Structure 1
Amino acid sequence: MRFAKTIGNKLARRYDQLPHANGKPFILAVADFQASGSMMWSREGLIGYLLGSGATVAEVDGRPQAVPMPAEHLLGPARFPAGLFANDEHAELSAVIFTNACSMAKLNRVAISGGGAPAGHRYTRIGNFFDRTPGALKGIPFCLDITSADYRGLWPHGYEPWTAEMEVFHNPFARHPVSVDLLPEATHWFRQGGEWICSSVYEASILWSQTLITSSDKTAPSLDDFLNNAARGSRMDSPEA
């Protein structure tokens, strides 16, 4: 509902009809700052609102599989319509740009992974990779030192790029479509052959993460620490997420 109301308020202002925007692709960028750590879990809400569909896990032919879960309305008593990009009612909106990592942690990681880590601290990123295995139902947990070769090697640049978590959702009914070449390193969502396709230039895609800054004289956080905290339903203490 927060994403839907925010986008709706912007559309109501008809920025697309301003002289400098008229006749050109009109794009809105949104991010989630509603609460501490909310970027770690709200991404699926935006996807469900834009596409008008989500997924659930059900047993099919004796094994768990992802099953599409279409929706005409968002959860809640307001019955706000879902599927902003499911019809041509908002053809003026060409695309929505979203990232779940536009925070101070991102600003720190780009510089630190590029070799600018201040001495005396340890910088660790934990989270979930997108599992590209066909039929995978969960992400792949990770815990990596941001200054390590393993972390820097996730991207061809040799450091974390600004576009690593940027996603562009294209409106299939857009009056003025957006070229992928405008943001070539972003992850792009577009409708093709009756289904939504997700295209990314990076092999490593991070679904959500948390950045931990600790003293270098303390024991480094481990993946087991992360998994044990997740099993208890708690997060690891951190000034950033």
Structure 2
Amino acid sequence: MRGYTVGNEEVEPVEIRQVSERRFNAHVVWARGPGWLPPVKEVEWLEIESAQVFGTVFVDLTDKDLHSTVMAPDLAGRYRGVDILQDHANIREAVERTAASMARVHIDYDKARAQGDEKASVDFFAKVAKASKLHTRFRYLRDSTTAVAAKRLIEVAMRWYENQDGSYIEQFQTTGFDARVWELYLWAVLREAGHRVEQPKPAPDFLARGIVGDFYVEATTSNPPPANQVVPLPTTEEDIFEYVHNYLPTRFSGPLWAKLNDKGYWTRDGLDLTIPFVIAIQDFHQDLSMTWSQSALFEYLYGVRVEEVESEGRMQKIEVPVAQLKWGPKVLHSGFFKLPDSEHVSGVVHNAAGTLSKFNRMGIAAGMGDPSVTVKHEGRRFSKDNTGVEEAFSQTVTPGYEEDWIDGLAVFHNPNALNPLPFEAFPGAAHVFEEDGLHRQITPAGHLVSSTTEIVAHY
């Protein structure tokens, strides 16, 4: 406990603690609106529990001055700046002045955090549909102790999210739950990357603005087929080959072709046709199908298959052209980036880990979990020593656990794009691109390849 003097008045003691950047960002990263972020580096983060007031100390990278900001939820629940302190002499002074300001905000909390321009925020969990129509995973998110970290994180984020087409909440609760979670995930990735994010009406889903330039992102998903057309997950090597190289690409072709066929994305009035346009796709068509999704997506986008052949006594990887995809009666053209009008698509983004489990892990890492719940994250990732070797990992997810929103995300760049997407638009992602007729991949150290999340409740 510590007391602060404000004028001649002693402030009632209040505990102000240092917290992690992850906990701070879980509450305030959503506050970034239109425009560009100033070039700053945050160095300290403070909190009055539980998430009533936050403070951060940062260095202005332009003039190297030390400043700080105090933030609190406005009367609509959105974290916004309530005080800015400038020109601190050193870190110690910055922390003390920031803490004193936070204590002043805490004295007259409602008055200090009121902004005067609050607009009603959306509530993803407000009742808008009959119980019989609710999606199974929405029920789980809303009601289960094992998902409480994800729910708490989403409850903070949703205060800033715009119900762009008027149907978000209804779909989030019913038929479009997975697709809406994917959109929310992408929104988090863009904000974590330092972009200011707008939600154009009626489309695309996002306009990201940043130092490297602006670009659009349109989200889509591969959804479950009719019950009588469900393909069982493969178990043998032969079945896996057919599933990955022939069936899964057909699951991506439908939603991607639909976006390509909607020429409004590059002809609609009001859109900037000189900036990159990106399609972000997720595979929700069947549980665990994401294990093989990325390689199937690569094959469909570029129209090539990577195979291992023996040459001079050792195995080598070669690219084999794939002109058509055949699955049952379906015969489709392979090579999405070679289709007419595809030059308008700058790239395709995918992350098999961009699911509700990611929100749960990120929420726990930010201290939003329930102590009776144990979560383990395990799978395979590239080693963190930059050797490019894949290795197994297994980690218990606790407050302070290290994971970023972008972990596991891959960007497939269109070699024929009219407006190429800068690699820096998604820092920390893996990037696949074409060079000298061959395809290369740049993978960051520690890049997530595949994973599962095990959740156990201790009652």
Place the TM-score, normalised by the shorter chain, in its bin.
0.7 to 0.9
Alignment of 1:181-192 (within 5 A): 181-192=424-435
The counterpart of 1:69, out of the listed 320, 324, 331, is 320
Asked if 1:124 is matched to 2:411, the reply is no
TM-score by length of 1: 0.75
Q: Structure 2-normalised TM-score?
A: 0.41
Which of the numbers 404, 421, 425 marks the counterpart of 1:178? Answer: 421
Go from structure 1 to structure 2 and tell me whether the alpha carbon gap of 1:197 and 1:114 turns closer, same or farther (over 3 Å shift). Answer: farther
Deviates more, 1:97-106 or 1:50-59: 50-59
SS state of the match for residue 300, structure 2? helix
Secondary structure in 1 matching 2:408: coil
Matched-pair identity in %: 28
Contact 1:114-1:160 at 8 Å conserved across structures: no
User: Hey, what does 2:353 align to over in structure 1?
Assistant: 101
Aligned residue number for residue 143 of structure 1:
394
Aligned to 1:209: 451
Answer with 40-49 or 183-192: which moved more: 183-192
- The separation in 1 between residues aligned to 2:338 and 2:382, in whole angstroms, is 25
Instruction: Please say which of residues 27-36 and 17-26 is displaced more in the overlay.
Output: 17-26
Contact 1:169 1:190 survives alignment (8 Å): yes
1:7-86 alignment runs, 5 A limit = 7-14=256-263, 15-19=265-269, 20-76=271-327, 77-86=329-338
Contact 1:88-1:173 at 8 Å conserved across structures: no
SS in 2 for 1:48: helix
Q: Which 5+ residue runs of structure 1 have no aligned equivalent?
A: 153-158, 218-241
- Partners in 1 of 2:412 and 2:441 — Cα distance? 9
| Consecutive unaligned residues in structure 2, runs of 5 or more | 1-249
Q: 1:43: Cα distance to partner?
A: 1.7
* Inter-partner Cα distance in structure 2 for 1:195 and 1:65: 14
8 Å Cα contact 2:408-2:447 kept in structure 1: yes
Q: Which moved more, 1:163-172 or 1:21-30?
A: 21-30
Q: Report the AA paired with residue 273 of structure 2.
A: N
- Secondary structure of 1:7's counterpart equals helix
Q: Which AA in structure 1 matches 2:350?
A: F
Structure 1, 160-169 or 68-77: larger mean CA deviation = 68-77
**Equivalent pair of 2:366/2:399 in contact (CA under 8 Å):** no
User: How many residues matched?
Assistant: 205
AA in 1 matched with 2:411: V
User: Which letter maps to 1:105?
Assistant: S
Quick one: distance in 2 between partners of 1:23 and 1:2?
30
CA distance in 2, matches of 1:11, 1:98: 17
Q: Is the 8 A contact 1:95 1:168 kept in 2?
A: yes
- Equivalent residues of 1:52, 1:84 under 8 A apart: yes
Change beyond 3 A, Cα 1:71–1:180: same
Q: Is the 8 A contact 2:364 2:399 kept in 1?
A: no
8 Å contact kept, 1:170–1:190: yes
Assess if the C-alpha contact under 8 Å between 1:87 and 1:173 holds in 2.
no
Deviations 1:193-224 (A, max 9, x none): 33222223x3011221110011459xxxxxxx
Task: Return the letter of the residue paired with 1:145.
Answer: T
Partner-residue secondary structure (3-state), 2:259: helix
